Amino acid sequence: MQIQTKLPKVGTTIFTVMSQLAAEHQAVNLGQGFPDFDGPQALRDALAAAMNAGRNQYAPMTGIPALRQQIARKTQALYGHAVDADTDVTVTSGATEALFAAIAAVVRGGDEVIVLDPCYDSYEPAIELNGARAVHVPLNLAADFAVDWQRVRDAITPATRMIIVNTPHNPCGAVFSAADLDALAELTRDTGIFVLSDEVYEHIVFDGAAHQSVLRHPELAARSFVVSSFGKTYHCTGWKVGYCIAPPALSAEFRKVHQYLTFCTFSPAQWALADVLEHLPSHYLDLPAFYQAKRDRFRALLAGSKFRLLPVAGAYFQVVDYSALSDRGDIEFSQWLVREAGVAAIPVSAFYETPPRDARLIRFCFAKTDGVLEQAAERLQRL
């Protein structure tokens, strides 16, 4: 049987490839971007309580009211943005589903969607499956992956339907400033361009900085889908629970897609998350300090190595330049690193359409226990 694939550029993801290679060589896996520790005990207890209380059937399509109300309260408290829990908040089966649903809701055949490279690997397939074309605009590597807003402006055409932004950024750890929000608002003002803001690492911002959500900017909030992840915030990525905040007209279209993707999301987890949002706000409020300590610890462990550590302003990834070690391409070097050093990383070129010429960059995840980070650093220091 011959099948004409709808995603000719998509194969096995680099994340799967590197994890399989790490398993084969018993390597320390700093490639996959998830914690190797559990979330709060209170959350796990609340999940068990919800299941034992019979909360095991379908949830409402938009999410249980208690969770949507807690999300609305949290958003108002953190970003000063009033959210209607009934019309603006939709609970999803992970952030990746929310990203796909937002794209499918408003992007049509022949449209263009601007993405900022390096970018998360699910963006372009979702764009292409909806008949549109991804337009890749590189971030400024020389300026610590800042957005070159003039290059974004130059990429806009009459076919531009959406701009996707990601802050804090995976893989590079850059974060938006208030000036970035103003620049994005100026570019999209008086246009039909929507914004999709991937903010799954919203609570992992360092050095006393505030997360600059597009929800802080009323003009942007009025034209944006904002995607968040409970999995990232509560160290439970396997639960696959996220949500999308958007104004009523956009949420209505978003929900039309969502109801035919997953319809609803794992019910006991929604009850558990509603409970900890109400009774344990200290968890997400303390998260910046928690991960900053891991960032600082990992960077200290690698000090004096042959890796050059790029700045990390947010998220839980450390990008390093390995030019002093090798002139191999990053995919080949990452494979060599697993075999020879016993440490798995992700080549940053996997996040690009056209990687920067001669860049030698790989990404480590530091959302790991101290023992794992110490073991990895010991191996890397030997190189």
- pLDDT by residue (tens digit) across 14-32? 888 888 999 999 999 999 8
Q: Taking residues 345-351, report their average pLDDT.
A: 96
Decide if pLDDT at 1 tops 90.
Answer: no
- Rounded Cα distance between 133 and 143, Å, is 27
Interhelix angle 95-106/248-261, rounded to 10 degrees, is 120
Decide if pLDDT at 10 tops 90.
Answer: no
Decide if pLDDT at 2 tops 90.
Answer: no
Residue 117 near residue 168, CB atoms below 8 Å: no
Amino acid identity for residue 146 in this structure:
A
Residue 344 near residue 18, CB atoms below 8 Å: yes
- 132 half-sphere exposure, CB direction, 13 A CA radius: 26
- Mean pLDDT, the chain, integer: 97
Residue 188 near residue 223, CB atoms below 8 Å: yes
- pLDDT by residue (tens digit) across 98-116? 999 999 999 999 999 999 9
Report residue 143's pLDDT band, with 50, 70 and 90 as the boundaries. very high
Domains, the chain, ordered by start:
14-39+283-381 (3.90.1150.10), 57-281 (3.40.640.10)
Q: What is the pLDDT of residue 231?
A: 97
Amino acid identity for residue 276 in this structure:
V
Portion of the chain with pLDDT greater than 90, in percent: 95
Q: What is the pLDDT of residue 268?
A: 98
Q: Taking residues 178-199, report their average pLDDT.
A: 98
Decide if pLDDT at 46 tops 90.
Answer: yes
Sign of CA dihedral 17, 22, 25, 26: negative
Decide if pLDDT at 9 tops 90.
Answer: no
- Rounded Cα distance between 30 and 33, Å, is 8
Q: Where are the beta strands (DSSP E) in 311-379?
A: 317-321, 343-344, 346-347, 361-365
Q: CB count, 10 Å around CB of 280?
A: 16
